[in-house]
Structure 1
Amino acid sequence: MNLLGLIVEYNPFHNGHLYHLNESKKITNATHTIAVMSGNFMQRGTPALLDKFTRAEMAVRNGVDLVVELPTLYACQSAEIFAHGGISLLNSLNCVNSICFGSEIGDIDILYLISKILIDEPIDFKIKLKDYLDKGLPFPKARASALFYYITENKLYDTSEEDLLNMLNSPNNILGIEYIKSILKLNSKIKPYTINRINSGYNSLNVNDSICSASAIRNALKNNSLNTINYTMPKDTYDIINRVIESGFNLVYNEDFYQILSSIIIRDKDNLTDYFEVNEGIENKIYNSIFKCHNIETLQNEIKSKRYTMTKISRTLNNIMLGIKGVDILKTKDLTNIPYVRVLAFNEKGCEILKEIKKNSEIEVITKFSKIKYINSNIFNTLINYDIKATNMYNLIYYKDNFDMLKAPLDYITSPKYIK
């Protein structure tokens, strides 16, 4: 078995994802694929358009063999924490041969070189970085300049300082570097590959081609009928979204959680700093702003400043809503062995992967939640309880027009989807 690992969100699965999946299989010669997918909340601190089981089904119907859940504590955080969680989970399986990710640069050599320098921190690089910081340069610019100095001084790669800075400011390159850094930190045998992202940028809202960003698709779904963008996604994705809508479920967006979020902020006024990344006075800005705003967008704009980017604000607010505490992130962010893997969907080849995991790893494979009560581990309980809480919070919105169907917390009663 040549097992390819992917770290994904599939929010939703579209033509760009299909291209990435097929190209990744080609360049790695993979016979089987496993995707570690964010659950019901995304890396940018927003809810998923569709629930995790539905998105996992999309992935398997489009060619992924096994989809497992990236624990919530990792899924909703910065590139460094997100990447560490995904790579640590894949590495804990002891049978993944490679990982392939999309990047703006499409060149694994320069991404690997940068990652190695940032991990090893050669003395010449550290001295230059300190010099640039002492001169008052912002950290991203100082780091890029120090990297450029070290790389060119040692004739390691031919690039300009401007190109290097652009590379380090591109979201998928940033994630790619963090994936490689995690592989190096773990001394993992997983081999990294990358392919160029094509067409629209990560945050582009333009729907003008068959391959566009997931942001553009979500925006179009919010404002138009599904039929107007059917050419941007595989037929299975279109059919599943259509099925969900016809079943009376609403696609989920950030603003749907505003009332829940504002209630928690008001309730927890004196304890906001318990939540991860709520520090340096932003707690006061958040509390005071809640009385001036009527939706999530105006709240974020009220809080935004040179110090806090929109993405950081979004993640911070999401941490408050999901109750993600700083002490729990500290417990898990450097964890090298993830204690469980939660199965969301699989096909026949996925069954073969599960057998390989059970043969090679001591990780707990969760297909039925009734088993988890027999596991007594502080780290396990911390991670799994956030997964359960996130699902329950998400379903308050996802099931708001079908609340009679919520008989219990769905993590306990929903089985993985087997796609024949």
Structure 2
Amino acid sequence: MNLLGLVVEYNPFHNGHKYHLEKSKELTNATHTVAIMSGSFLQRGEPALFDKYTRAEMAVKNGVDLVIELPTLYACQSAEIFSHGAITTLNSLNCVNSVCFGSEEGSVYILKTIAEILVKEPPKFKTTLKNFLDEGILFPVARSKALYEYIKNNNLLDLSEDKLQSVLNSSNNILGIEYIKSLTKLNSSIKPYTITRIASEYNSTDIESNICSATAIRNSLRDDDNLQLIKNVVPLHTFNEIDNKINNNFNPVFDYMFYDLLSSMIIRDYENLTNYFEINEGIENKIHSNVFTSKNLDELINSTKSKRYTMTKIKRTLNNILLGITKEDVIKVKDIDKVPYVRILAFNNKGREIIKKIKTSSDIEIITKFSKISHIDNPLFDTLIKYDLKASNMYNLIYYKNNRNLLKGPMDYYLSPIYIP
């Protein structure tokens, strides 16, 4: 078995994902694939369009063999924490041969060179970085300049300073560097590969060809009452699943739908907001003040963002409040070298083979049915699993709004992984 690992959100699975999956298999000569997928809430502090089981089913029907949920504490945090959680999950399976991710750069050698400098922090690099910081230069710029100086002085890469800055400022390059940093820290045998993203920029909001960004698809589903607009940019399996869900009154979920819940939590928990992850430097006061005058989530975000706090950072911060994610719990899990469990969301026959391989290669707990979790005397297990359950419960309050008769309680206890023959 040559097992390829993928780190995904599939929100939703579109033609660009299909291209990446097929090219990744080709590049790595993989015989089997496992995807680590975010569950109910995603890396930019947003809810998923559709529930995790539906998105996992889309993935398997489109060629992934096994989909495992990325624990919530990692899934909706910054690139560093998100990437470490995903790579640690892959590494914990003890049978993954490679990981392949999309990037704007397309050269794994360039990304790996940068990542290894950042992890190993050679003395000359650290000294140069300190000197730039002492000059009052902001950390991201100082780090970029120090990297350039170190790379140039050691003839490591043929890159201009502008090119290096472009690499460091591109969304998927950032994730790729963090994936490789985590592989390095874990001393993992998993080999990294990358594929250049094609046809559409990560944050493009336009549908202009048969491949576009997930952002454009989500915007289309939010703003237009016409599902046909996305038909040419998603595989048929994805289109059919979305069509089926909407016809059964399971509509796409968007962050603005949680505003009433969020605003009441901000007001109720004002004195305790500083306990939540990413709440620091008095931003809790600004959030609390602005929530009274903001008519909706967009107004709250726009009135709170600043040069120091980007829109995405604010969204993640608010999401941490919504899910009650504390600084204490993130600190517990952000640097671990092995996850205590994996949750199976969907699989096919090859996926079943991967599960058997995991059982023989690793002692990790494999969760198929939530109700059958064996008692584990492990505080780390408890910390991670409680947020998975909480995130699903919060998500389903909105997702099942038109189908309350189907909401039996905490749905993680009632739903099983989806098997696709």
TM-score of the pair, normalised by structure 1: 0.99
- Structure 2: how far apart are the matches of 1:137 and 1:279? 21
Q: How far is the alpha carbon of 1:373 from its aligned partner?
A: 4.7
| AA aligned opposite 2:287 | I
Shift of 1:376: 2.3
| Whole-angstrom distance in 1 between the partners of 2:137 and 2:267 | 38
- Distance in 2, matches of 1:216 and 1:3, equals 31
2:102 is aligned to: 102
Displacement of 1:370: 1.8
Q: C-alpha distance in 1, partners of 2:407/2:18?
A: 33
Mapped pair 1:363 → 2:364? yes
Matched with 1:309 is 310
5 Å-filtered alignment, 1:76-95, equals: 76-95=76-95
Question: 1:376 & 1:155 partners in 2: Cα distance?
Answer: 51
**Offset from partner CA, 1:37-69 (integer Å, 9 cap, x none):** 000100000000001000000000000000000
- 1:215 positional shift: 0.4
Where 2:373 maps in the other structure, the secondary structure is: helix
Is residue 387 of structure 1 aligned with residue 388 of structure 2? yes
CA shift at 1:371, angstroms? 2.2
Supply the distance in 2 between the matched residues of 1:314 and 1:222 (Cα, whole angstroms): 18
Residue aligning to 1:181: 181
Counterpart position of 2:402: 401
**Structure 2 letter corresponding to 1:91:** N
CA deviation vs aligned residue, 1:76-105 (integer Å, no higher than 9, x gap): 000000000000000000000000000000
User: Number of residues paired by the alignment?
Assistant: 420
- In 2, the alpha carbon distance for the partners of 1:102 and 1:196 equals 6
- In the other structure, the counterpart of 1:245 is 246
SS of the residue 1:344 aligns to: strand
- Equivalent residues in 2 for 1:114-263, closer than 5 Å: 114-224=114-224, 225-263=226-264
Q: Distance in 2 between matches of 1:127 and 1:373?
A: 50
Give the partner amino acid of 2:341: Y
Cα deviation, 1:8-36, whole Å, max 9, x if unaligned, reads 00000000000000000000000000000
Partner of 1:285: 286
Return the alpha-carbon distance in structure 2 between the equivalents of residues 192 and 117 of structure 1: 16
In structure 1, what is the Cα distance between the partners aligned to 2:100 and 2:124? 31
CA distance in 1, matches of 2:35, 2:230: 25
User: Over aligned residue pairs, what C-alpha RMSD do you find?
Assistant: 0.7
Aligned to 1:320: 321
In structure 2, give the amino acid aligned to 1:115. A
Structure 1 unaligned segments of length 5 or more: list them. none
CA distance in 1 between partners of 2:279 and 2:264 (Å)? 17
Give distance in 1, aligned partners of 2:290 and 2:348: 48
Using the TM superposition, give the Cα deviation of residue 120 of structure 1 relative to its aligned residue in structure 2, in angstroms: 0.8
Can you list the C-alpha shifts for 1:158-201, whole angstroms capped at 9, x where unaligned?
01000000110001000000000000000000000000011211
The alignment partner of 1:232 has SS state of: coil
* Identity among equivalent pairs (%): 63
State the partner residue of 1:411: 412
SS at match of 2:194: strand
Rounded Cα–Cα distance in structure 2 between residues aligned with 1:296 and 1:373: 40
State the match for 1:275 in structure 2. 276
Residue type matched to 2:39 in 1? G
